[in-house]
Structure 1
Amino acid sequence: MENAEAKLESIRREGKSKEKVVADESLKISETVNKLKVADKAIRDYIDNDGPGKLRACEQSITDLEREISQIDKEISDVTDKANAIKEQIDNSERIKRNISDNIKYRKFKRALDVLNAEIVELEMRNANDDLLRLSREADKQNMRHQKLLADRGPILGAMRAKDDELRGILHDWETEYKDAAKNYRESHIKVETTKAAIEDLARYGTALDQAIMKYHSLKMEEINRIAGELWQSTYQGTDVDTILIRSDAENAAGRSNYNYRVCMVKQDAEMDMRGRCSAGQRVLASIIIRLALAECFGVNCGLIALDEPTTNLDRDNIRSLAESLHGIIRTRQAQSNFQLIVITHDEEFLRDDKQKSIIERQSIAEVI
């Protein structure tokens, strides 16, 4: 019983595989039939649209075109032969021209000679002996003139050939060097106009840049004078000078803007130049304050300020005020990671000031000295 069931199961599997094979072959046969139907439809459409007739018409058109091409090739060959002949005639034109000219002159002189011979015969028949000598002299004169003309003919022909050569050279130059003259002129004109426009643009840009630089200079001078005034008022302990500032006088020389700078001191809205009117201490203090103002204005990203003997010619009050100003600068810029203040001095009291302890923190005065 088990063997029979196994055999039945095997037969069923074989039957399913054969059914699958038959189904695949049936599908392939269906696809083949469809392709044959498509091909049959294309053949029938070709026959219905008079395909053979169109094919014969195309073959006849190809034959006619080949015959026309043969005829055109023959015509091209004939035109080429004619062109070569014309070219040969052009090459021989100078010799033919010279031969024709000589033949014309020969015929002219021959006709004149025939006329003279006829007159001579007529005069001989009239027994015109008196005119014979005169005509002989005239004939000799004409012969001499003829010889002269023949002699002048050579240089004239040479000059004509030279002119012809010069004309050919000019035509060759025109066809080669001056062939693109209009195009070259247009390109050169475009370059000139472009250069002019660029020069005008650069001039405008230069003017705008000069104005921007002057405006930047004015803003920076105002900032420098503001910082210098604040430092002076917080440092200087005297009462004869309220503040200091820098004046810049513009000068235009050779198209450039130059500035002459001068330091002025202000007392109750009255300005005077400090040169020759201030003490040595005021001059030193003004120099230090101006340098600090320049550093604050232009060196914000530069963390290094060096002062060499800043207390020279300063009294005690101004030294103490300078120490407080330096302490204020340190306090303002202590958040800057790369800030360093280097003070070179021999003034121990300046270093011992309470405000200056921040400068020498982490070091003893003995180490600094």
Structure 2
Amino acid sequence: MQSTIISTGQKTTPRSLDEVKQAKNKVQNQFDLLDKELQRKHKELRAQQDLKKEPLDEQLQKLTNSIQTLKDEIETDKQSLEPINFELSACITTISQNKDDLARTDIRYRQLNDNRQLLRNQIELEQKQKDLIELEEKTHGLKLDSLIREEKQLRSTQEILLKEKHTASARLATLDQQLIELGQELEQKHLKNAHERYLKHFVRQTVEEIASQGLESFYKVLDQTMMTYHTQKMKQLNKITQVPIGSDIGSVDLGIRDLWRTTYCGSDIDAIEIRSDADEENVSKARRTYNYRVVMLKSGSVMDMRNCCSTGQKVLASPIIRLAFAEPFCLDCCILALDEPTTNLDFENIDGLAQALIE
């Protein structure tokens, strides 16, 4: 077995990074050779064990010696690698320092370049300020900012006026064309004397509107008169009804309440009345409608008679209502026609109705 040992007795001087890497590679190659040699020795030992040519103790001793020799060589190689690793670390440190120096140099260069640019800008600004002062002196104290703003406003106003001018010109041209077309249409046969015909129709429409307003006023007066008439007749109907009798007195004024109390024998209804209400929802229509309804009175309370009274009460109310309508709306009514007036009436109410008719 051949081995190469690197002497470390003398102190090595700093070498370059490439030399250090070459030395490291060389030592690594030696280490790889020693490892291969160790593997080969192990194979030989296995072969010797298989053949059993030598005693086991001698073989073990040889193997132990070979292993120890290899360990010594490996330790020697490690010791030889220590100065190389130290040189490598020193080189890496030097390279890092050089990189930091280069970065600081770049930063310093940029700072100097920025300072130079700032100085140029300051000089240029001072020159501009001097030019501005001279310009203000020439413009008699007027400031440039105000002049620029005024110029922008004037230009904006000019653009707006130009747009309005173009729009007005286009509209004027359109109106001129329409005027020409309308003049040509007025020259046609069916449009001649249009002004005279317009005046005739205008007068007719005005007369119709005045007549319509007069009719509306007449309708309102007539409607108010009809309401007054209905109100008076309903009061006359409900309060006083002249009933003729066969005595020398001639007639007796009785109200519809008295007729009901005289005829009806029950106590659940004190009296009845007929009421007329105008339909205020249909005031704007051509005709106003009037709603007649029969109401019942009980202890000061008013209730519609429809759907709230019996059939007999309805039958009894019918002749009383007819008798009440005869005096206000008829003249010299001496006959009262009744069709089965006692239907659905009990005996007491039949007697009361007969007694009222006799009176």
Q: Give the TM-score taking structure 1 as reference length.
A: 0.37
* Structure 1 or 2: more helix by fraction: 1
* Structure whose CA Rg is larger: 2
If the length of structure 2 is used for normalisation, what is the TM-score? Answer: 0.38
